[in-house]
């Protein structure tokens, strides 16, 4: 039984982490911090946790996080980079669900995130926590950068194509659609129900923060530059990401076999039979990524459909998967659930 701390438990990734950790057989919730809500029972803010999580929010000072085996940061960008060093030096392993350690190029990070980085050395050390790519490095990571939601869906969808050199890297398109919980639990007008329901829109077309993260990942797979166009959209559902990916084949491969072989032993990637169209609800509340791959009319354009739950495989679930790998638990421990559908 490892001792677990959570910093910033008041957002959607925070409460989802609590949902998963509360029933994890190998983890014990030690402390949940919130400066603003210290003293409040967690279940007062999240009634879904009543009777399942009995902790109160505490201040960072009260939390004694250095006694934890692992600390999750479910905070806004820019917080973990300030606190991680002390924890790591105290022997605590850190899993950051925000973006602080995801981009290796510090200047690039600072451009997209609009602040100075406080811990460049930790960025150099940090492991990018996409288990399907970096499982070995994850085992020994002291600082783990948990991938973003869009980057998870998009990278898993492109991975077999790029690793195998099957597609033209100069022109990749990722048209991605997210549920509104991806925007976080912040009081803002544009994500109000009466704004976001019964409507659909793109956003961030000139440039979205997940673009450099995805590009870095694809370049890593390719060992070469990639030309990526990434367009995110807001869709009127609570959870779920659907990435529709387009690429041109440069050789005539059996794309179905390519995907099946690549993901055969992955516990959380499910390659669907030919002709399938995965629905986001088929992975709701689970850590599964389901993928279908098509060559419409048998042509040289390959279309990949990749779905995840943005709060689970796209955030809290993948973080727990990474924790399982880091602490040598069974990788599915606490995550072996059946998606909730309908």
Among positions 52-91, residues that touch a second copy (CB under 8 A) are 52-53
* Residue 149 dihedral angles phi and psi, to the nearest 5°: -70, -55
Helix (H) or strand (E) holding 204: none
186 binds a second copy (CB under 8 A): yes
First to last CA, the chain: 34
Considering only residues 25, 47, 252, 265, which one is a binding residue for a second copy as defined by CB under 8 A? 47
* Residue 151 dihedral angles phi and psi, to the nearest 5°: -55, -35
Considering only residues 7, 149, 283, 289, which one is a binding residue for a second copy as defined by CB under 8 A? 283
> 289 is written with which tokens?
């990524």
Considering only residues 79, 219, 231, 249, which one is a binding residue for a second copy as defined by CB under 8 A? 231
Catalytic residue among 15, 149, 307, 311: 149
277 binds a second copy (CB under 8 A): yes
Q: In the complex with a second copy, which residue's Cβ is closer, 139 or 201?
A: 201
- For the question of residue 289 being annotated catalytic, the response is no
Least distance in angstroms from the C-beta of 322 to a second copy? 20
CA-angle at 198, arms to 197 and 202, nearest 5°: 80
177 binds a second copy (CB under 8 A): yes
Considering only residues 194, 251, 264, 328, which one is a binding residue for a second copy as defined by CB under 8 A? 194
Q: Measured on CA atoms in the order 187, 197, 149, 218, is the torsion positive or negative?
A: negative
146-182: burial string, b at 16+ Cβ within 10 Å, e else: bbbbbbbbbbbbbbbbbebebbebeebbbbbbbbbbb
Stretch that binds a second copy, among 46-54, 118-126, 158-166, 314-322 (CB under 8 A): 46-54
* Beta strand 70-73 pairing with 289-294: unpaired
244 binds a second copy (CB under 8 A): yes
Considering only residues 242, 325, 329, 335, which one is a binding residue for a second copy as defined by CB under 8 A? 242
DSSP state of 150: H
Considering only residues 107, 187, 252, 264, which one is a binding residue for a second copy as defined by CB under 8 A? 187
Stretch that binds a second copy, among 96-104, 107-115, 135-143, 275-283 (CB under 8 A): 275-283
210 binds a second copy (CB under 8 A): no
Give the integer Cα–Cα distance in Å for 75 and 93. Answer: 16
Q: Catalogue the active-site residues.
A: 149
């Amino acid at each position: 039984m490892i001792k677990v701390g959570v910093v910033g438990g008041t957002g959607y990734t925070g409460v989802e982490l609590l949902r998963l950790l509360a029933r994890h057989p190998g983890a014990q919730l030690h402390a949940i911090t919130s400066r603003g809500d210290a003293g409040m029972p967690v279940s007062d803010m999240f009634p879904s946790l009543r009777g399942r999580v009995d902790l109160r929010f505490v201040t960072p000072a009260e939390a004694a996080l250095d006694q934890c085996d692992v600390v999750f940061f479910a905070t806004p960008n820019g917080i973990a980079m300030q606190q991680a060093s002390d924890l790591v030096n105290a022997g605590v392993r850190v899993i950051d669900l925000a973006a602080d350690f995801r981009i290796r190029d510090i200047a690039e990070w600072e451009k997209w995130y609009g602040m100075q980085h406080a811990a460049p050395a930790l960025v150099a050390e940090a492991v990018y926590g996409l288990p399907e790519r970096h499982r070995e490095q994850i085992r020994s990571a002291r600082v783990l950068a948990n991938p973003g939601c869009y980057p998870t869906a998009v990278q898993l969808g492109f991975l077999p194509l790029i690793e195998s050199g099957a597609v033209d890297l100069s022109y990749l398109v990722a048209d991605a659609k997210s549920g509104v919980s991806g925007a976080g639990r912040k009081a803002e007008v544009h994500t109000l129900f009466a704004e976001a329901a019964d409507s659909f829109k793109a956003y961030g077309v000139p440039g979205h923060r997940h673009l450099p993260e995805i590009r870095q990942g694809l370049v890593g797979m390719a060992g070469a530059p990639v030309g990526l166009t990434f367009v995110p959209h807001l869709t009127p559902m609570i959870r779920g990401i659907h990435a529709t990916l387009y690429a041109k084949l440069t050789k005539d491969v059996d794309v179905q076999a390519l995907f099946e072989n690549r993901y055969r032993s992955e516990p959380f990637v499910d390659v669907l039979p030919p002709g399938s169209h995965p629905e986001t609800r088929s992975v709701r509340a689970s850590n599964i990524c389901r993928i279908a791959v098509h060559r419409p009319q048998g042509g040289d354009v390959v279309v990949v459909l990749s779905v995840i739950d943005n709060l689970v495989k796209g955030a809290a679930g993948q973080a727990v998967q990474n924790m399982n790998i880091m602490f040598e638990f069974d990788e599915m421990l606490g995550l072996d659930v059946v998606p909730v559908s309908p």
